[in-house]
Amino acid sequence: MEQPVSFTEEEEALVIKSWNSMKSNSGEWALKFFLKVFEIAPSAQKMFSFLQDSNVPLEQNAKLKGHAKSVFVMACEAAVQLRKTGKVVVKDSTLKKLGSVHLKNGVVDEHFDVVKYALLETIKEATGEMWSPEMKAAWSVAYEHLVAAIKTHMI
Ligand code: ISQ
């Protein structure tokens, strides 16, 4: 059994507080997040089947917003789980699906790194003065553990 991670109530609160401040505009931030990913890695657009057969501009693609939003939500849930149990507990069926979808689409470590960078940059932009090194660290830990959980299902 892996050692539980120590994730404090303060760290959890930083993640939740920042997500709450973004929630009312989450569609817009989700879109910015996605656009940042594509700015760094334009070829990543090929990985999203719903972008292939669509004529609508990226900005108006509803699925795109939904997808990106779920990355925020899952990282947030990971923070809650880390504080409660010291590990990320995602429903097994969800993890299996996420693992196989990322594997099938050829997602490798570098992709997860690009997404991490874009995620943190988006939250930084969204939170403005609230942003801090501690907030960045808390989101990073939550994201890394979520990714680790997904990767266990990518083999
Ligand atoms: C990976 N999987 C689903 C949605 C995403 C949104 C932005 C960046 C990466 C993603």
Average pLDDT over residues 26-45: 93
Tell me: domain 9-151, CATH 3.10.105.10, correct?
no
In short, whether 37's Cβ falls inside 6 Å of ligand 1 is yes
Which atom of ligand 1 has the smallest separation from the CA of 111? 9
Contact 112, 37 (CB under 8 A): no
pLDDT tens for 88-106 read 988 888 989 999 999 999 9
Give residue 32's identity as a one-letter amino acid code: K
In the chain, where are the structural domains located?
A: 9-151
> Hey, how many other C-beta atoms are within 10 angstroms of the C-beta on 29?
21
In short, whether 111's Cβ falls inside 6 Å of ligand 1 is no
pLDDT tens for 52-69 read 878 888 888 888 888 899
Which atom of ligand 1 has the smallest separation from the CA of 102? 2
Q: Is the pLDDT of residue 9 over 60?
A: yes
Q: Output the residue whose Cα is nearest ligand 1's atom 10.
A: 68
Cα distance between residue 112 and residue 109, in whole Å:
5
In short, whether 143's Cβ falls inside 6 Å of ligand 1 is no
Q: Which of 38-42, 65-69, 101-105, 122-126 has the lowest mean pLDDT?
A: 65-69
Q: What is the pTM of this model?
A: 0.93
In short, whether 112's Cβ falls inside 6 Å of ligand 1 is no
Identify the pLDDT of residue 109.
Answer: 95
Cα distance between residue 126 and residue 19, in whole Å:
9
Which atom of ligand 1 has the smallest separation from the CA of 68? 6
Cα distance between residue 133 and residue 123, in whole Å:
12
Cα distance between residue 65 and residue 51, in whole Å:
12
| The pair of three-digit structure tokens given for residue 108, joined into one six-digit string | 């490798």
